[in-house]
Each structure stands twice: as structure tokens, then as C-alpha cells.
Structure 1
Amino acid sequence: MRNFKLLGMAFLALCLFNCSQDEIVEEQQVIKPTKTDIEYSKRAGLKPIGSGVMMQAFYWDVPAGGTWWNTINSKVADWSNAGIDAIWLPPASKAHNGPFSMGYDPFDYFDFGEYNQMGSTETRFGSRAELINMITTAHNNGLSVIADIVINHNSGGASEANPYTGGNTWTDFNPMSGSFLRSATDFHANNVHSNDSGAFGGYPDLCHHQTYVQDWLWKNSNSVAKYYRDVIGFDGWRFDYVKGFEPWVVKDWKNEVGGFTVGEYWDSNVSTLDTWTSSAEASAFDFACYYKMKDAFMGNDLTALNDNMLWKQNASKAVTFVANHDTDEIIDNKILAYAYILTHEGYPTIFYNDYEEWLNKERLNNLIWIHNNLAGGSTDILHVDTDEYIARRNGYSNSGLVVYINNSNSWQERWVETNWSSTVIKDYTGHSGWEPTTQSGKWVKIQAPPKSYSVWSVK
């Protein structure tokens, strides 16, 4: 998340209804889905999420002007061919800062660039038609599309008298879509409690204990979650700032509409991350891994990779990353960090700028191929010191691999124990021309170039 400056403008409240929101919700028909977990990967031709690599398909302050959905549309075929299985989009609906917003100050969850409000019709990223066209192109290329969901807070409401605070608050939301109108009762403080797990940046903080809020966000047939899934075409969810509300919210959302789900729980404590994944029944970004990689590659001490990370404790729930729109601190040796996450357990994510602008795309494509074709099974760390790190993936439906990361300034060689007896192996990165034969006892000498890596498997 990023902090936003709240705009000092009040909006005239429209008297659209003569009844309270509590009365409205009683009139709405709540339709339960026929099954609690929609298997999105069974949509025609989609790769199963987690079978490849996720692409974060944006960065902070992508170009304004409504061109971003078309930009992504032009790239998804190449990404799919490279081995990407899902793309994560920025928050797609209309936000308070209109044509300039990155979407993290949500106003109208049902306006994807079709209503003239908050200073524009299109969002920063484009129109509703362009968004749906891009998602269709992604689906046609086998890619799932993950929505960035911001439900901790809202922005852009008009000022109203608030009986729970004794003053005025910016909590009167009357979006032009006519869906999910909100008032002071739907935010903290209210008649339920004064706060939940945490507010953010001074924004009105949604109260997920209110039945009305639950119904509009995920329960009703016309809820945000079902509209995103059934009308716009999203396949999964990335929940923003999940520290701000209880994990049962994510769990209930996923149980209602299904789909791959990952939370942004920004914490380096492995036990805290693992506890959240258990409670939310969802994946989490592996911030523990991120910070250990920062220590290893920015601090030039690869022994940090020996420390615990979410992927080591609960690999099936770990989404690993080297950079994202908020956090891009691993500058030195960044390709070594990608060699790490793309050869280890967890579901790896590639950052748009790293792939399209900053790093060598050919090397990243090679690592994606290695991840998708060789990096199976459990992991054993074979050697680690300040400059060198060697680990073995033991294989599952493939041969497995041995990755050798060398952060020194010279070529390095080591004898390692593999899973292959009397077998010719090679370096699938092409950095080494060796093709050694493992001994009958499975030992072999491998090498790695300076400030680089090699990945070895059966020829």
C-alpha cells in the first residue's frame, strides 16, 4: 500500500432512498452459490494457478491516460509462452483520485471505467471494455487473472453527521453505479465496535462485522466478489493490507466464491505469516523470504538463506517475490535472488519492471523454464557460506535439480551429492559448458561463474 493525500473536497449527498441501509439489505435476495469453491483452472484452457509463475502486471505509477489495460493486452501472449500462468492486476475499479489513482483509495467497486465520477470516466488504466478485452485475451492464452482487492478502507465519501463520533466524517458514499451505498454505520466507529484490526492512512475503515457490508462485498448474488468473478472475469484474489481486518474475512470470501487467494500480510515473522495462512485458509506473500534475500544479496552474506522462511515451513501457502510495487530494495545481485525463488519451493512472482525493463529477459525466461520443468520435490541445502549457496530439489514428476549461487568475484567449484547415479548432467542456464557424469555414489563436481549461478540436472 501507499499513503494517499485525502482530497479536501466534499460531495453533495444524493437522497436516493427513503429507507435506511439496514432496510435495504432486508429486501435483497441473498443467493448462495451451488458450491463453495469454484475451480477457476477448469475454465476452458486455463493453466492451473501455481503450475507456473505469476506476473505482477503493474508497477507504482504506471502511465496515466487510460492505456495500461491495452499495454498488458499486448504482452499476455508472450508471457504465456514464457511460462507465466497468472497475472496480478492493480485495483481495477474507480478510486477517489480518479484518472490519477493506482486504485488503493477505492470509491465505487462497480465502476471499471464507465461512469463520469471522481474526475474521469476511465480509470487510470483504461475503460471497462478494455479491461474485459484484456482479461479475455489472457484467458485465451491460458492465463488466470488475479484481482487486487482493497476492502480495509474506502475514500471519496462526502461529509455527514456521524452519531458514533459526535462530529462529521467522510463516510457518505453514493457511487454512480448505484451499488454498495455506504454511510457512517458501515465504518468504524459504529454500533458494533470502535475498530477492528487496524485503520490505514486516516481513511474511513470498513466494518466487516456489519451484515450489510458482508452482503455487498461477497455474500449477495450481486456482491463485489461475484461481480468481479462472473461479470468482469477475474479468477483469483490478492487481498491488500490484510493486517487491517480479521482473517475470517478472507476465508469467508474465498469459501463463498472460490479462486486462488493470497494476502499481503507485511511481516517478516514466519510464525505470524503461517498462522495467518491457517486462519484465512489462503496463501501469503513470503515477506520472511524477501527480507532474508535482502540480507543475503544486498548484505553479501548468503548464510542468511539458511534462516527460516514461509516456503520452508509451509511451501504450499508461500508466494515468493523479489520486488513488488511497494518494495524494491534488492537492487544488487537481483538476478541471483530470482535464481533463488525460481528454483525453490513456493509460488514465485516476477515483477513487471524487472521482466520488461530492468533485467535480462532471456535469463528470466530461462529461469521460468527451469522452474516449470525441473524444480520439483523437496529441498535440501547442500552447502552455504558467505559467498556460495547450493541446494538440491529432489524431484517429483521431474528429475529435480541442483542450483549453485555464487556471489563471489571468481569462478567456484564444489563436490555435491546429487540424486543421480552414473548419470550425465548439464547446466541448464548455459553458464557452464561442463557435462560431468555423476559417480556411482551420486557425487559430482559442479561450478558456477562469478556473481552468477548455475542449475544442474539430467541431460
Structure 2
Amino acid sequence: MKKPNFKIYLLTAACAFLYSCESNETETNLDSRAESEKFQIINVTKHDGKPFSTGASKSLTGKYVANPGGGVMMQAFYWDVPAGGNWWNTVNGKLTAWSNAGIGSVWLPPASKAQNGAFSMGYDPTDYFDFGDFNQNGTTETRFGSKAELVSLITKAHTENMQVYADIVINHNSGGQSEANPYTGTNTWTDFSGVASGKFKRSSHDFYKNSYGNNDEGAFGGFPDLCHANPYVQDWLWGRADGVAKYYKNTMKFDGWRFDYVKGFGAWVVNQWNTNVGGFSVGELWDSNVNTLEWWANNANSSVFDFACYYKMNDAFDGNNLNVLNDDMMWKRNPYKAVTFVANHDTDEIWSKMLAYAYILTHEGYPTIFYRDYEEWLDKTKLNNLIWIHNNKATGNTSILYTDNDEYIARRNGYNGNPGLVVYINNSDSWQERWIQTNWANTQIKDFTGNSGWYPTTQADKWVKIQCPPRGYSVWSINQ
């Protein structure tokens, strides 16, 4: 959801995200290392490092198969995408290229009719069953297009063996008619008895304050606050076969859910949705406290966006203090429930974005690519390279090998025969070199980003010297 006081960045700032990673340096003599250059692992994550099941990698046949590194999600929209009903077609036209790049899922904006009709981004929902096929709120199509175009998009994504996630807004509604409210003694905009689909009609009994209480966890923006304690609301949202969740999943063929503003209702709501309907789910719990994120994910039985990681990356890459990457994050607590991201439609604070993408695409968690970063603002070739590295090399748990203000080196320890990788991020203005300990003895390695031309061979004790370009990154693994 669009948040108040959203910080707007100029498009010209995109140039700040691009940098040169070319090297003209030559490899030094690895046998001349000093013992003083060796350093110890300073952090190891506490899980088994098994591969994720949220995505897939491209096979030689052009279809997806299970991959070692897990999935990559594309947020397939940004705030105020062009109006006019063509966005579903725009996304449809990009699916094959995204699929070829190794992206395994797409997250779409709220798809149903909202109060602002053809101009709405969908976060003010009126009729959950109007996907652009009813003349309602001043329009038939939504801002994004028609129901037929949405169905075509989902069908095409599935042809590419990609998953499609629906953005679900169930904290509040908008666009109802005024009615006398017996619980407030005033008129409120809570009469949704006239929704064009004729399904999930609502009244003041279905919104706080009502017979179930005065409020729940939180309201948003003055919109009528949907009462999830009401069995009628529960039934229509996730209970009945023709309700919202099962219609989205079984008729529209969505594969999963991004739950908007989950601070506004109890974690049990998402838990019940997931128990009754299934599919992948991730919650937007806007909180940098990793304890809060972990508590919600466990109680909701859902993944959660890793805002702890997001703000630590901002401090690290924009604040010139890579030591903070030693701090706790959701992906370190439970990578299977952590969705990592660099930017989204609500927040875009990180300037050193390529360093941040190098971080999330080499580390554990389920990384998300933001549409404008990929299609407009950053170097798509570099992002595709990082996606390939993620899908093919980013396996196993994580050992942080070295950090200081400007440098960060971590090792993915590999899994099930996959060798893993070493990622080196350099936020300084000059080339850097470090001795690090790998998991590979007497083995030639290379930088799979191409930013370094070195092809060093690890020593018998698995130590090797690697390098990293200024304001850049390198990713090392076995040369095979």
C-alpha cells in the first residue's frame, strides 16, 4: 500500500546506481601470502541450508525445473503505472523474457475493482469479484485492463511455468454507499450491498465498530475497517468455495498471495487463509524489528518481507558501514520465510542498488526484483547475471568471512553437490584484495560476474586471494 509521506526520488538518480566494474589489474602471487592476512569466520547461520522450493531455473527445453538456489520474484508494477487499461498486456509481453532470465514468479497489483475505478492502483477495494468485467465505479476495465487480459497474463505465466501472486487487500474497503450505522449513531460509508458482482455484500455489521468490538489491530487511512472476527466475513474471504480466496486460486488461477498492511489485523487471519486455501504467501509487515517479523511469520504460517534486511542494507551501502550486515535479519532467522527486496512500490530509499541486489541475490531468502529497477533504472545485463548466479550457485547456509566499513565477504557453503559461492562487496573507491578461506582445496575458481579477470587456484588449506572492483562486487565459485 502507498504510505503517507512517501519519499519520491528523481528518475535522474538512476545514474547513481550504475558503476564501472572493469579491471585492468593482474593477479598477484598467491604463494606469498602472510599468515597475518588470514581471518576467521565471524558469523554462521544456524540452519541446514537446504534449497528453497519457491522458484525454478531454466532448463535446456525452455521450461522451468527445480533449481539449486531457489526462486526469484518480480514485482511486476510500481506506483502509478500508466492508466488506460493496458498494464496486464504490458506485463504479458515481458513474461517470456523474464522467464528466460530465470525469474520464477510475478507479483501483480490488486486486480479487482476499487473506488477510483480506472485510476486506482487497487488498494481501495470495492468489489473483490470485479476484475474489469462490470461497469462499476465509473469504468468497466480496471486501471490495468480487462478480466480477459488478466486471465491471458496468468495463462501465459503458467505456460512459462512461472507462478503468479495476487496482492490481497483485506484490512479495509472503499467505495461503499452511505448508510445509517447503528453502532456509531451516524452515517458511514459501509453499504456495499450494491456491488456489481453480487458477491460478498457488506454492511455496517461487517466493519468496526460493530457488535464484535470497537476495533482490531489497526485501521488505515480512514477507510472502513473490515471485521475479520465476523464469521460472515471469514466465510466470504477464505471459507466458502466461491469466496474470495478460493475464487482467486481455483477460478482465476493465482498461485499465492501478497497480503497488504498485515499490521491492521491479527496474524491468525493469514494463518486461516493459508490453512483453508494454500498457496505461497508473504505479508507486508512494515517493521524493522526482526523479533516482530519472526513472530508474525510463525503465527501467520507465512513468509514476510524482510524489512530488517532492507534497512540494514540502506545503512550499509548508503551509510558506508558494511559492518551492520553482521546484525540480525529475518533471512538469518528463517530463510524459508524471508522475502528480501531492494525497493518496492512504497519505499525506495537505497541508492547503491546494485550492491544491494548483489547482496540479496547471493544470500538466503526469496529475493524480489523491482520492475523499474529491472526495466528502466539499472543495468539489466548485470541483474540477469546476478539472477543466474542466484539460481545456479547460491546454495547452502551462509558464513560471513569478513566485514569492515567498506568491505563485506560471505560464503555460501553449498548443498547436495552444488559448490556454493563466495561474494565480495566493496563500497570503497578503489580495488580491494583479500585472502579468504573457501570450501575448495587445490581448485581453480573464477568471478562469475566477469568483474575480475583472475582465475586463482585455491591452496591445499583452501585459502585463496580474491579481488573486488570499486563500488562493486565479485562472486567466486569453482570454474566449471
- Please say whether Structure 1 and Structure 2 have the same fold, judged by a TM-score greater than 0.5: yes
SS at match of 2:358: helix
Please point out which of 414, 421, 444 is paired with 2:464.
Answer: 444
Alpha carbons 2:92, 2:153 under 8 Å: kept: yes
Q: Which residue of 1 aligns with 2:18?
A: none
State whether structure 2 residue 320 is matched by structure 1 residue 300: yes
Counterparts of 2:182 and 2:64 in 1: how far apart (Å)?
50
1:428 maps to amino acid: F
Seen in structure 2, the aligned counterparts of structure 1 residues 450 and 46 have a Cα distance that, compared at 3 Å, is closer
Counterparts of 1:48 and 1:218 in 2: how far apart (Å)?
30
Q: Which residue of 1 aligns with 2:185?
A: 166
Alpha carbons 1:40, 1:259 under 8 Å: kept: no
Shift of 1:227: 0.7
Alpha carbons 2:435, 2:463 under 8 Å: kept: yes
Counterparts of 1:376 and 1:387 in 2: how far apart (Å)?
25
The RMSD of aligned alpha carbons is 1.5
2:123 maps to amino acid: Y
State whether structure 2 residue 21 is matched by structure 1 residue 2: no
Shift of 1:306: 1.1
2:145 maps to amino acid: G
State whether structure 2 residue 275 is matched by structure 1 residue 258: no
Alpha carbons 2:54, 2:71 under 8 Å: kept: no
SS at match of 1:212: helix
Q: Which residue of 1 aligns with 2:103?
A: 84
Please point out which of 332, 345, 353 is paired with 1:325.
Answer: 345
Please point out which of 277, 299, 318 is paired with 1:279.
Answer: 299
Deviation digits for residues 320-352 of structure 1 (CA, Å, limit 9, x no counterpart): 000000010102x21000000000000000000
State whether structure 2 residue 256 is matched by structure 1 residue 236: yes
Alpha carbons 1:46, 1:139 under 8 Å: kept: no
Seen in structure 2, the aligned counterparts of structure 1 residues 455 and 40 have a Cα distance that, compared at 3 Å, is closer
State whether structure 2 residue 79 is matched by structure 1 residue 74: no
Counterparts of 1:3 and 1:183 in 2: how far apart (Å)?
27
**Mapping of residues 144-183 of structure 1, within 5 Å:** 144-173=163-192, 174-183=194-203
Deviation digits for residues 416-449 of structure 1 (CA, Å, limit 9, x no counterpart): 0000000000000000010000000000000000
Shift of 1:244: 0.3
Shift of 1:41: 8.6
Counterparts of 1:183 and 1:362 in 2: how far apart (Å)?
51
Please point out which of 314, 331, 341 is paired with 2:334.
Answer: 314
SS at match of 1:161: strand
Counterparts of 2:438 and 2:70 in 1: how far apart (Å)?
25
**Mapping of residues 31-430 of structure 1, within 5 Å:** 51-173=70-192, 174-331=194-351, 333-397=352-416, 398-430=418-450
2:183 maps to amino acid: Y
Deviation digits for residues 135-182 of structure 1 (CA, Å, limit 9, x no counterpart): 100000010000000000000000100000011100001211000100
Counterparts of 1:303 and 1:99 in 2: how far apart (Å)?
47
Alpha carbons 2:74, 2:371 under 8 Å: kept: yes
Structure 1 unaligned spans of 5+: 5-38
Deviation digits for residues 193-218 of structure 1 (CA, Å, limit 9, x no counterpart): 11000000000000001011011111
State whether structure 2 residue 436 is matched by structure 1 residue 431: no
Seen in structure 2, the aligned counterparts of structure 1 residues 122 and 46 have a Cα distance that, compared at 3 Å, is farther
Counterparts of 1:446 and 1:162 in 2: how far apart (Å)?
69
Q: Which structure has more RCO (C-alpha within 8 Å, separation ≥ 6)?
A: 2
Alpha carbons 2:55, 2:71 under 8 Å: kept: no
2:462 maps to amino acid: K
Alpha carbons 1:57, 1:72 under 8 Å: kept: yes
Deviation digits for residues 61-113 of structure 1 (CA, Å, limit 9, x no counterpart): 00000000000000001111111110000000000000000000000000000
Counterparts of 2:191 and 2:449 in 1: how far apart (Å)?
57
Shift of 1:46: 6.5
Counterparts of 1:60 and 1:141 in 2: how far apart (Å)?
26
2:125 maps to amino acid: P
Counterparts of 2:64 and 2:209 in 1: how far apart (Å)?
43
Alpha carbons 2:425, 2:474 under 8 Å: kept: yes
Counterparts of 2:252 and 2:362 in 1: how far apart (Å)?
34
Shift of 1:51: 2.5
Counterparts of 1:366 and 1:275 in 2: how far apart (Å)?
34
**TM-score with structure 2 setting the length:** 0.86
Counterparts of 1:54 and 1:247 in 2: how far apart (Å)?
23
Deviation digits for residues 228-273 of structure 1 (CA, Å, limit 9, x no counterpart): 1111110000000000000111011011111001000000000000
Counterparts of 1:40 and 1:353 in 2: how far apart (Å)?
23
1:278 maps to amino acid: N
* Sequence identity (%): 69
SS at match of 2:414: coil
